[in-house]
Structures are given as structure tokens and as C-alpha cells.
Amino acid sequence: MKEMPAANPIIFDKSKCMGCNRCMEICQVDIFLPNPEKGKPPIVAYPGECWYCGCCVMECPVEGAIELQHPLMNRVHWIEKRLLIEQGNE
């Protein structure tokens, strides 16, 4: 039986990633392991440890090769206070 991780913070686009491992090297909490297959994306070994800092995405030289997926509870939609007050008065 395959264990499902509680978090899935990193999505690689395998058609774009060239396996340079720069994302792996920059990650300060070491969630990645190098892929034994050369040219393939690193392995997300510890997804629950991700801080969602975005350093791996910023470090990647290939646009769109790596994407950060924030947990649902962190996807906040900000709304102006003025609009909230207006809505409350309707």
C-alpha cells in the first residue's frame, strides 16, 4: 500500500526540468534528494517539512519547471476593509 503524503508542496514539470538540482541545493530544510537518474527532477523526500519560502522556485533557471503549491488553508483571498463594510451594510 502506498502512503499518501499529508502535503504536496512541490510540482515539477518533467518536460521542462533538466535535473540541475539547484532547487535541491538551495532548500534550507533539505526536503529533496537527488534523482539517481541523471537529468530528472529531484525526489521530494520530506514534503511535510516544506516552509513554503519559494527559494527553490526562485533559484530554478527554467521558467515553469518547478511550482510551489500552497496548502488550501494558506490560500487567502484578501478583501478591502471598505468592501467588507459595504457588504455588511447591504
Site membership for ligand SF4, residue 52 (CB under 6 A): yes
Total site size for ligand SF4, rule CB under 6 A: 29
Site membership for ligand SF4, residue 43 (CB under 6 A): no
The piece of 24-32, 72-80, 82-90 that touches ligand SF4 (CB under 6 A) is: 24-32
Backbone torsion region of residue 46, taken as left when φ is above 0, otherwise alpha when ψ lies between -120 and 50, otherwise beta = beta
Site membership for ligand SF4, residue 51 (CB under 6 A): yes
Q: Name, in order, each residue with C-beta under 8 angstroms of 63's C-beta and a sequence gap of 6 or more.
A: 16
The grid cell for 22 is: 539547484
